[in-house]
Chain A
Amino acid sequence: DAGITQSPRHKVTETGTPVTLRCHQTENHRYMYWYRQDPGHGLRLIHYSYGVKDTDKGEVSDGYSVSRSKTEDFLLTLESATSSQTSVYFCAISEGGGPGTDTQYFGPGTRLTVL
Protein backbone atom coordinates (compact mmCIF):
# COMPACT_ATOMS: atom_id res chain seq x y z
CA ASP A 1 0.00 0.00 0.00
CA ALA A 2 1.12 3.53 -0.78
CA GLY A 3 2.26 5.40 2.32
CA ILE A 4 -0.51 7.96 2.64
CA THR A 5 -2.02 9.09 5.90
CA GLN A 6 -4.76 11.59 6.54
CA SER A 7 -5.50 13.42 9.74
CA PRO A 8 -7.83 13.69 11.42
CA ARG A 9 -9.85 10.66 10.26
CA HIS A 10 -13.05 12.05 11.71
CA LYS A 11 -14.01 15.58 12.63
CA VAL A 12 -17.18 17.32 13.74
CA THR A 13 -17.17 21.10 13.65
CA GLU A 14 -19.57 24.00 13.65
CA THR A 15 -20.56 26.33 10.84
CA GLY A 16 -18.21 29.26 10.49
CA THR A 17 -15.15 27.66 12.08
CA PRO A 18 -11.90 27.10 10.20
CA VAL A 19 -10.84 23.52 9.53
CA THR A 20 -7.56 22.12 8.23
CA LEU A 21 -7.13 18.59 6.95
CA ARG A 22 -3.69 17.12 6.49
CA CYS A 23 -2.38 14.62 3.98
CA HIS A 24 1.05 13.13 4.51
CA GLN A 25 2.92 10.83 2.11
CA THR A 26 6.13 8.86 2.45
CA GLU A 27 6.45 8.01 -1.28
CA ASN A 28 8.10 11.26 -2.42
CA HIS A 29 5.51 11.53 -5.20
CA ARG A 30 5.31 14.83 -7.05
CA TYR A 31 1.54 15.12 -7.42
CA MET A 32 -0.98 15.35 -4.60
CA TYR A 33 -4.74 15.78 -4.82
CA TRP A 34 -7.72 16.55 -2.65
CA TYR A 35 -11.13 15.11 -3.53
CA ARG A 36 -14.48 15.13 -1.85
CA GLN A 37 -16.86 12.18 -2.10
CA ASP A 38 -20.61 12.69 -1.89
CA PRO A 39 -23.47 10.28 -2.65
CA GLY A 40 -24.56 10.58 -6.26
CA HIS A 41 -21.52 12.63 -7.22
CA GLY A 42 -18.66 10.19 -6.99
CA LEU A 43 -15.32 11.88 -6.40
CA ARG A 44 -14.82 15.49 -7.33
CA LEU A 45 -11.43 17.20 -7.49
CA ILE A 46 -11.01 20.17 -5.15
CA HIS A 47 -7.36 21.15 -5.67
CA TYR A 48 -4.19 19.48 -6.71
CA SER A 49 -0.48 20.16 -6.42
CA TYR A 50 2.28 19.43 -8.92
CA GLY A 51 5.15 20.41 -6.67
CA VAL A 52 6.10 22.37 -3.58
CA LYS A 53 4.16 25.63 -3.61
CA ASP A 54 2.62 24.73 -6.99
CA THR A 55 -1.13 24.19 -6.85
CA ASP A 56 -4.13 24.43 -9.15
CA LYS A 57 -7.90 24.41 -8.79
CA GLY A 58 -10.19 21.51 -9.48
CA GLU A 59 -13.88 21.51 -10.31
CA VAL A 60 -15.18 22.30 -6.79
CA SER A 61 -12.56 24.64 -5.32
CA ASP A 62 -14.83 27.40 -3.99
CA GLY A 63 -14.56 27.67 -0.20
CA TYR A 64 -11.31 25.68 -0.07
CA SER A 65 -7.65 26.62 -0.06
CA VAL A 66 -4.55 24.46 -0.08
CA SER A 67 -0.90 24.72 0.75
CA ARG A 68 2.13 22.58 0.10
CA SER A 69 5.31 23.74 1.78
CA LYS A 70 6.98 20.31 1.75
CA THR A 71 6.85 17.46 -0.73
CA GLU A 72 5.29 15.14 1.81
CA ASP A 73 2.48 17.35 3.13
CA PHE A 74 -0.60 18.77 1.43
CA LEU A 75 -3.03 20.75 3.56
CA LEU A 76 -6.66 21.48 2.77
CA THR A 77 -8.25 24.41 4.60
CA LEU A 78 -11.88 25.37 4.90
CA GLU A 79 -11.63 28.99 5.98
CA SER A 80 -15.21 29.13 7.26
CA ALA A 81 -16.90 25.75 7.18
CA THR A 82 -20.46 25.42 5.90
CA SER A 83 -22.90 22.53 6.11
CA SER A 84 -22.51 21.95 2.36
CA GLN A 85 -18.90 20.97 3.05
CA THR A 86 -19.98 17.96 5.09
CA SER A 87 -18.37 15.16 3.12
CA VAL A 88 -15.69 12.52 3.04
CA TYR A 89 -12.38 13.96 1.89
CA PHE A 90 -9.75 11.86 0.15
CA CYS A 91 -6.17 12.67 -0.53
CA ALA A 92 -4.41 11.00 -3.45
CA ILE A 93 -0.86 10.96 -4.75
CA SER A 94 0.81 10.11 -8.02
CA GLU A 95 4.35 10.04 -9.37
CA GLY A 96 3.60 12.23 -12.35
CA GLY A 97 5.27 9.96 -14.85
CA GLY A 98 2.89 11.03 -17.59
CA PRO A 99 -0.87 10.70 -17.96
CA GLY A 100 -0.53 7.37 -19.74
CA THR A 101 1.45 5.76 -16.97
CA ASP A 102 0.49 7.83 -13.97
CA THR A 103 -1.62 6.12 -11.30
CA GLN A 104 -3.33 7.77 -8.37
CA TYR A 105 -3.14 6.14 -4.96
CA PHE A 106 -5.64 7.11 -2.29
CA GLY A 107 -5.51 7.73 1.42
CA PRO A 108 -8.04 6.31 3.88
CA GLY A 109 -10.21 9.44 3.94
CA THR A 110 -11.42 12.01 6.46
CA ARG A 111 -15.07 12.18 7.39
CA LEU A 112 -16.00 15.80 8.10
CA THR A 113 -19.33 16.84 9.57
CA VAL A 114 -20.25 20.53 9.75
CA LEU A 115 -23.15 21.24 12.09
Chain B
Amino acid sequence: AQSVTQLGSHVSVSEGALVLLRCNYSSSVPPYLFWYVQYPNQGLQLLLKYTSAATLVKGINGFEAEFKKSETSFHLTKPSAHMSDAAEYFCALTSGTYKYIFGTGTRLKVLA
Protein backbone atom coordinates (compact mmCIF):
# COMPACT_ATOMS: atom_id res chain seq x y z
CA ALA B 1 0.00 0.00 0.00
CA GLN B 2 1.11 3.51 -0.68
CA SER B 3 1.41 6.11 2.03
CA VAL B 4 2.83 9.51 2.78
CA THR B 5 4.00 10.63 6.19
CA GLN B 6 4.72 14.24 7.03
CA LEU B 7 6.74 14.61 10.20
CA GLY B 8 5.61 17.53 12.30
CA SER B 9 2.13 18.95 11.97
CA HIS B 10 3.45 22.39 12.99
CA VAL B 11 6.85 23.90 12.26
CA SER B 12 8.05 27.35 13.35
CA VAL B 13 11.07 29.14 11.91
CA SER B 14 12.44 32.64 12.21
CA GLU B 15 12.34 34.92 9.21
CA GLY B 16 15.53 34.38 7.24
CA ALA B 17 16.14 30.91 8.66
CA LEU B 18 16.21 27.63 6.77
CA VAL B 19 12.87 25.97 6.13
CA LEU B 20 12.84 22.16 6.27
CA LEU B 21 9.56 20.26 5.93
CA ARG B 22 9.81 16.49 6.05
CA CYS B 23 8.02 13.96 3.89
CA ASN B 24 8.57 10.21 3.82
CA TYR B 25 6.76 7.86 1.51
CA SER B 26 6.05 4.21 1.03
CA SER B 27 5.46 2.75 -2.40
CA SER B 28 6.08 -0.63 -4.00
CA VAL B 29 6.61 1.00 -7.41
CA PRO B 30 8.55 4.10 -8.41
CA PRO B 31 6.58 7.07 -7.12
CA TYR B 32 5.77 10.49 -8.47
CA LEU B 33 5.92 13.01 -5.66
CA PHE B 34 4.49 16.48 -5.22
CA TRP B 35 4.53 19.35 -2.77
CA TYR B 36 1.52 21.66 -2.57
CA VAL B 37 0.98 24.83 -0.55
CA GLN B 38 -2.32 26.03 0.85
CA TYR B 39 -2.83 29.60 2.02
CA PRO B 40 -5.73 30.34 4.37
CA ASN B 41 -9.15 29.88 2.80
CA GLN B 42 -7.69 28.89 -0.55
CA GLY B 43 -7.21 25.74 -2.56
CA LEU B 44 -3.90 23.95 -3.00
CA GLN B 45 -1.22 25.28 -5.34
CA LEU B 46 1.53 23.15 -6.81
CA LEU B 47 5.00 24.05 -5.53
CA LEU B 48 7.01 21.36 -7.30
CA LYS B 49 6.92 17.77 -8.50
CA TYR B 50 9.32 14.87 -8.90
CA THR B 51 8.87 12.74 -12.00
CA SER B 52 12.19 10.84 -12.04
CA ALA B 53 13.95 13.25 -14.41
CA ALA B 54 16.18 14.71 -11.66
CA THR B 55 16.46 14.00 -7.96
CA LEU B 56 16.76 17.67 -7.00
CA VAL B 57 13.63 19.51 -7.99
CA LYS B 58 13.28 23.28 -7.96
CA GLY B 59 9.89 24.85 -7.54
CA ILE B 60 8.28 28.22 -7.21
CA ASN B 61 9.01 30.82 -4.53
CA GLY B 62 12.55 29.52 -3.92
CA PHE B 63 11.52 26.08 -2.69
CA GLU B 64 13.25 22.88 -3.66
CA ALA B 65 13.03 19.22 -2.73
CA GLU B 66 15.36 16.28 -3.06
CA PHE B 67 14.21 12.75 -3.83
CA LYS B 68 16.22 10.21 -1.84
CA LYS B 69 15.24 6.66 -2.71
CA SER B 70 17.48 5.09 -0.07
CA GLU B 71 15.74 7.11 2.63
CA THR B 72 12.28 7.07 0.96
CA SER B 73 12.15 10.79 1.53
CA PHE B 74 11.19 13.93 -0.36
CA HIS B 75 11.90 16.78 2.04
CA LEU B 76 11.06 20.37 1.11
CA THR B 77 13.56 23.13 1.81
CA LYS B 78 14.01 26.85 1.36
CA PRO B 79 17.24 28.60 2.36
CA SER B 80 15.65 31.71 3.84
CA ALA B 81 12.10 31.91 5.17
CA HIS B 82 9.90 34.87 4.38
CA MET B 83 6.79 35.94 6.22
CA SER B 84 4.75 35.18 3.10
CA ASP B 85 5.77 31.50 3.35
CA ALA B 86 3.43 31.00 6.29
CA ALA B 87 0.93 28.43 5.05
CA GLU B 88 0.11 24.73 5.18
CA TYR B 89 2.19 22.40 3.06
CA PHE B 90 1.14 19.01 1.73
CA CYS B 91 3.24 16.22 0.32
CA ALA B 92 1.48 13.91 -2.15
CA LEU B 93 2.28 10.71 -4.03
CA THR B 94 0.96 8.86 -7.02
CA SER B 95 2.31 5.66 -8.51
CA GLY B 96 1.15 5.18 -12.04
CA THR B 97 -2.52 5.92 -11.48
CA TYR B 98 -4.46 9.12 -11.21
CA LYS B 99 -5.20 8.57 -7.54
CA TYR B 100 -3.11 10.85 -5.36
CA ILE B 101 -2.29 10.10 -1.72
CA PHE B 102 -1.82 13.19 0.41
CA GLY B 103 0.00 13.58 3.68
CA THR B 104 -1.72 15.16 6.67
CA GLY B 105 -0.03 18.50 6.16
CA THR B 106 2.52 20.68 7.96
CA ARG B 107 1.58 24.16 9.05
CA LEU B 108 4.53 26.53 8.74
CA LYS B 109 4.73 29.56 11.00
CA VAL B 110 7.33 32.25 10.29
CA LEU B 111 8.40 34.34 13.26
CA ALA B 112 9.48 37.96 12.82
Contact = CB atoms under 8 A, between A and B. Distances in A.
Interface of A: 4, 31, 33, 35, 40-45, 48, 50, 58, 90, 92, 94, 96, 99-109
Contacts of B98: 31, 48, 50, 94, 96, 99, 102
Nearest to B97: A99
28 contacts: A4-B43, A31-B98, A33-B100, A35-B102, A42-B6, A42-B104, A43-B44, A45-B100, A48-B98, A50-B98, A90-B43, A96-B98, A99-B32, A99-B95, A99-B97, A100-B52, A102-B94, A103-B34, A103-B46, A103-B49, A104-B44, A104-B46, A106-B43, A106-B44, A106-B45, A108-B41, A109-B41, A109-B42
Contacts of B32: 99-100
Given A100-B32, A103-B46, A107-B43, A44 B96 contact: no
A96 to B, nearest CB: 7
Contacts of A45: 99-100
Contacts of A50: 98
B90 to A, nearest CB: 6
B51 A101 contact: yes
B51 A90 contact: no
Contacts of A99: 32, 94-98
B15 to A, nearest CB: 26
